[in-house]
Each structure stands twice: as structure tokens, then as C-alpha cells.
């Protein structure tokens, strides 16, 4: 028997009815399968970690890693920060800059020194959303958890200002015994510098002389392995060797700025978790 439905389609009443139970069974089993599948992914969610490609975004350009040296163990993360992130950190820091201090190895206290003539300030770890994003990115690329990071130090160097070569690990007994050693440093360049202001590793086994940018380096920077500041790039190096002993090749300094000015942000990382608000 055939008839025309209200929708104008021709349907066969007889066969429609006989297929109905099969269709219901099929639909039901599909639903069961779907629910099983959904339940399974609920029971064991895959461990989600940001894949490397998510570290890239249009504003920042491609993040890529360059091996700089094995002695010290040093790497450059190109395009680590976007222009906007650099400007944000400078804007937060600029009104609060104070003359920089150094750590007295005998007492563990901060003091002024001719050794270090920049000015700077600390932005609290996790202070705002942009800083938290940057700190998570640091943990992603260095494999050192956010909680091991100290507050973020923003530094400003004007013409003639520098930081003589020094170690980031504590040399005195005080800090190493009471709080724990620094393991590594990430130094982010927030500005380009027209001339000078390079980060130099005077004790590196490798020599800058073979680098393509050697001729553009200041005389200070030619005394070792050097990195030219480039806005958004980050220099990462380890202060300790893999067996936990101090690495003297991690000696580094900031060459005097010759032309322009230099902004940088430093994240020091500890062997242990670093308690926020700890004055040491």
C-alpha cells in the first residue's frame, strides 16, 4: 500500500514498520557505545601538557631554542616574549626602580657596590595574569617548576652602566645552608641595545670569535662568549653542573651600555621551592 505523506514524500507504510525495531536497536547500541566511549575518557583523562606549538603565538613569532654552549650549559630561547609582554614588564617596573644591590657572601645581606651600577626592582611571582603566563612559559621550557622561581627582577641600564662578571650561585655558606642554592637563571631581554650591553661569559670554554655577530660586539663582549640583547629573546643558563656542584664557567656579566639603554628581566631558580615573601 502506498500513500503520499503530508510532506509530499512517497512512503511505504508496510516496510517502514518492519524496519522500525531494527532502527531502534541500532540507535540504542550506538548510544551505548557513545556513552561507554565518553565514560572511558572520563575515567582516564590523558595527561594534558601544553604542546610546544601552543607556545607559539602570532604576536610573538616562532619560539625556537639555540644551543649556545655546554660549558656553561647555556641556551637562547628566541622570541620568548612578545613585544607587548616586554612593554608590560617595563611599564610595571619603571616607576619603582632603585639602585641595584649585590649579595654580601659573608652575611647573605644585600649591599651597594661599584660592581653593579644598574637600577632595578622586583615584580612579585604571580603578580598579574601576564606575569603568570610568562612564568608558566618559563617552567614549560626549562622544566623547572614555577614554585622554584624567585620574584622577577627587572633591571634598567643606562649608558655606562654594567654588571661586572659574577656567579648567580651563592658562594657564601649562609644562603646555601639556610635556603638552598640557585640552580639556573633565565635572563629575558626586554629591549634591544644599540651598542654594548651584551651578556658575557668570560670563563666559557667556547669563544665568541667564531660567532657571525662577533664584529658587532663591544670590546667587553669580545672577552668571552657573548649574547647580544634582542627584545623578546631569553638567555637560559645553569649555575650548577648536572651532579649539583657549582659550575665556574657560569661566570657572567653585563657589559657597559655604549649607546641606547637596556631593559632586562631575570628569573633566578632555586634547587628547592622558593617561599614567596622570603626576604632572603
Ligand X SMILES: *[C@@H]1O[C@H](CO)[C@@H](O)[C@H](O)[C@H]1NC(C)=O
Q: Rule CB under 6 A: which residues touch ligand X?
A: 207, 209, 241, 243, 245
Q: Is 151 exposed, middle or buried (0-12, 13-18, 19+ CB in 10 A)?
A: buried
Cross-strand bridge partners of residue 182:
270
Strand ranges in 33-72 using DSSP code E only, listed in sequence order: 64-70
Specify the residue, 202 or 260, whose C-beta has the smaller distance to ligand X. Answer: 202
Degrees (nearest 5) of the Cα angle 273, 279, 280? 65
Specify the residue, 210 or 278, whose C-beta has the smaller distance to ligand X. Answer: 210
Smallest distance, ligand X to C-beta of residue 160, A: 25
Element (H, E) at 175: helix 173-178
Q: What is the DSSP letter of 216?
A: G
Smallest distance, ligand X to C-beta of residue 246, A: 10
CA dist 160 and 255 (Å) reads: 9
Q: Is 76 helix (H, G, I), strand (E, B) or coil?
A: strand
Smallest distance, ligand X to C-beta of residue 60, A: 34
CA dist 201 and 187 (Å) reads: 13
Smallest distance, ligand X to C-beta of residue 68, A: 15
Specify the residue, 123 or 225, whose C-beta has the smaller distance to ligand X. Answer: 225
Specify the residue, 145 or 248, whose C-beta has the smaller distance to ligand X. Answer: 248
Q: How many CA atoms lie within 13 A of 5 on its CB side?
A: 7
Smallest distance, ligand X to C-beta of residue 250, A: 12
Specify the residue, 131 or 251, whose C-beta has the smaller distance to ligand X. Answer: 251
Smallest distance, ligand X to C-beta of residue 202, A: 9
Specify the residue, 72 or 120, whose C-beta has the smaller distance to ligand X. Answer: 72
Amino acid at each position: 500500500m502506498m500513500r503520499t505523506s503530508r510532506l509530499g514524500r512517497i512512503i511505504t507504510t508496510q516496510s517502514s514498520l518492519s524496519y522500525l525495531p531494527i532502527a531502534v536497536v541500532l540507535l540504542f547500541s550506538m548510544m551505548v557505545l557513545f556513552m561507554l566511549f565518553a565514560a572511558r575518557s572520563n575515567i582516564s583523562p590523558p595527561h594534558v601538557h601544553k604542546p610546544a606549538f601552543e607556545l607559539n603565538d602570532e604576536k610573538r613569532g616562532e619560539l625556537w631554542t639555540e644551543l649556545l654552549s655546554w660549558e656553561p650549559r647555556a641556551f637562547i630561547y628566541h622570541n620568548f616574549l612578545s613585544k607587548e609582554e616586554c612593554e608590560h614588564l617595563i611599564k610595571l617596573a619603571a616607576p619603582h626602580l632603585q639602585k641595584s644591590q649585590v649579595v654580601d657572601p659573608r652575611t647573605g645581606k644585600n649591599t651597594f657596590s661599584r660592581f653593579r651600577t644598574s637600577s632595578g626592582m622586583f615584580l612579585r611571582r604571580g603578580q598579574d595574569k601576564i606575569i603568570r603566563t610568562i612564568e608558566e612559559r618559563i617552567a614549560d621550557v626549562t622544566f623547572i617548576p614555577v614554585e622554584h622561581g624567585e620574584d622577577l627582577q627587572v633591571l634598567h641600564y643606562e649608558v655606562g652602566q654594567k654588571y661586572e662578571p659574577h656567579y648567580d650561585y651563592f658562594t657564601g655558606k649562609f644562603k646555601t645552608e639556610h635556603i638552598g642554592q640557585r640552580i639556573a637563571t633565565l635572563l629575558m631581554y626586554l629591549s634591544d641595545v644599540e651598542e654594548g650591553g651584551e651578556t658575557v661569559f668570560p670563563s666559557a670554554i667556547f669563544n665568541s670569535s667564531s660567532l657571525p655577530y662577533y664584529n658587532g660586539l663591544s670590546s667587553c663582549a669580545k672577552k668571552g662568549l657573548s649574547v647580544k640583547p634582542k627584545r623578546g629573546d631569553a638567555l637560559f643558563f645553569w649555575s650548577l653542573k648536572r651532579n649539583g656542584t657549582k659550575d665556574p664557567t657560569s661566570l657572567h656579566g653585563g657589559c657597559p651600555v655604549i649607546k641606547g639603554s637596556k631593559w632586562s628581566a631575570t628569573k633566578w631558580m632555586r634547587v628547592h621551592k622558593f617561599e614567596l615573601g622570603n626576604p632572603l
